[in-house]
A and B are shown apart, each in its own frame.
Chain A
Amino acid sequence: MKKHVWRPLFVVIALVVGILLFRAFYVPADFGIQERGYTFGYHRLGNEQEWKNFPEKYKGSAYCADCHEENSASLVKSGHGVIPCEDCHGAAFNHPESPEKLTIDRSRDLCMRCHVQLTMPSSQRNDLPGIDPQEHNVGMECADCHNPHNPSLEDM
């Protein structure tokens, strides 16, 4: 073949080799077709482990009960027994090391999440004791009268 054919061909070959070389260095060895096949599983396998290593923040009520047995036991007996500790006390993170103390959410807003009376005939919300926030002791904190670990006023 003549020069005018070879010259552009060399350029193309150089480009292809260059791209393949770049790809070989840039794309990690674990990138490729994994278990779910080309359509759904084409990815870097190492990323699955990276997600598995993501730090946990919520530790669960059983973790709290390991040290705070009394509080945990009293809560379980009450009407609020179904509520996980961390919903009000905040995520444990690495408590007791860091943070040493958790900030308890004692706000009216927290209680209102469940206890504002809404008309929800197709939902369990209807069965929860509910108040009208504009009528019921406006300006007061719920915890002034109701013990969150034993909310029934009859038991107080």
Chain B
Amino acid sequence: MKRREFMKSAAVFVSGAAVSVSALELLDPREVLAKNPDLRWGFLVDTHKCVGCGMCVKACKIENDVPLEANVTRTWVERYVMTKQGEVFKDSPDGAQHGYTTKRIDQNHSGMKDVADEDITQAFFVPKLCNHCELAACVQVCPVGATYSTADGVVLVDRKWCIGCGYCIMGCPYGVRFFHPVVHTADKCTLCYHRISKGGNTACAQACPFGARKLANLRDPNDPVAKIILTQRVGVLRPEYGTKPQCYYIGLNEEVR
């Protein structure tokens, strides 16, 4: 083989090999434009209204077959207690599935912390769940296409496709993912996709007596919850990660992470 010939065939081979198989699956522009423009699920949490009863956590676990006794949960409630001395204490015993029934704050290894009533400046509860991010970090790291965003903005896990590598559990900045002890795949809040896609409410929002959790269709200008998100002062958790979380909070402050 002459040098010229070799160079020619090498160039042809390299350029051919560069076009990988997946790149040959061309995007259909109609498919891209067919994004459902009328529906984008969002969530609103009012931390002023939450009393820490934990009924949302219990309802979520029962609704979604997450074992009550397992130390994993799709949603949980955190308690924050700030003192005059500038200390911040937080806890979430068992994800608050039994509620908060004591003033003592669970500090894990250092035991239970007693904070005197007169020392407390701020104290409140913050319910947490999957933020169903617009640019979800957990979805991008999945090596097999098992976790994905639906057109209406819900992040789901395909249990048949998940290989249980745990990248998404590490990738989520909010720690909302866990390894399901029964199904043995990654698991997370589905925003009760089975309920909301039939016109229902999420189990957690339905179980909340005080309306601290609310489901919203962010694309519907007449949705009262979407109106609050659009017109009131709401925050999101860890905006610095750039994941564009779609779970909005009323009454956040900087101690909440």
Contacts and interface: CB of A to CB of B under 8 A. Distances in A.
Given A51-B156, A58-B207, A109-B98, A122 B63 contact: no
A51 B190 CA distance: 8
B139 interface: yes
Interface stretch (B26-34, B167-175, B176-184, B229-237): B26-34
Interface residues of B, number: 66
A124 interface: yes
A55 B195 CA distance: 9
Given A40-B149, A47-B156, A58-B207, A114 B51 contact: yes
Interface string A105-142: 00001001110101111111100100001000000000
B149 A58 contact: no
Contacts of A118: 52, 100, 103, 123
B35 A35 contact: yes
B54 A113 contact: yes
Contact of A124 (B50, B151, B158): B50
Interface residues of A, number: 49
B140 interface: yes
A42 B54 CA distance: 35
B124 to A, nearest CB: 4
A74 interface: no
B207 A87 contact: yes
Interface in B104-157: 117, 120-125, 135-136, 139-140, 145-151, 156
A43 B161 contact: yes
B201 interface: yes
A82 interface: yes
A41 B211 CA distance: 32
Contact of B52 (A47, A54, A109, A125): A125
B4 interface: no
A133 to B, nearest CB: 7
A60 B195 CA distance: 11
Nearest to A132: B103
Contacts of B48: 122-124
Contacts of B47: 122-123
Given A52-B193, A87-B55, A87-B209, A112 B145 contact: no
Contact of A47 (B62, B160, B251): B160
Nearest to A60: B206
A37 interface: yes
A53 interface: yes
Contacts of A56: 63, 194-195, 198, 200
A78 interface: no
Given A35-B32, A125-B125, A133 B101 contact: yes
B197 interface: yes
B241 interface: no
Interface in A34-89: 34-44, 47-48, 50-58, 60, 82-84, 86-87
Interface of B: 1, 21, 25, 27, 31-32, 34-36, 47-55, 59, 62-64, 98-103, 117, 120-125, 135-136, 139-140, 145-151, 156, 158-161, 190, 193-195, 197-198, 200-201, 203, 206-207, 209-211, 251
5 contacts: A40-B139, A56-B198, A87-B55, A119-B123, A120-B52
Given A35-B151, A60-B201, 10 more contacts: A34-B31, A40-B135, A51-B193, A54-B190, A91-B59, A113-B52, A113-B54, A113-B98, A123-B52, A124-B48
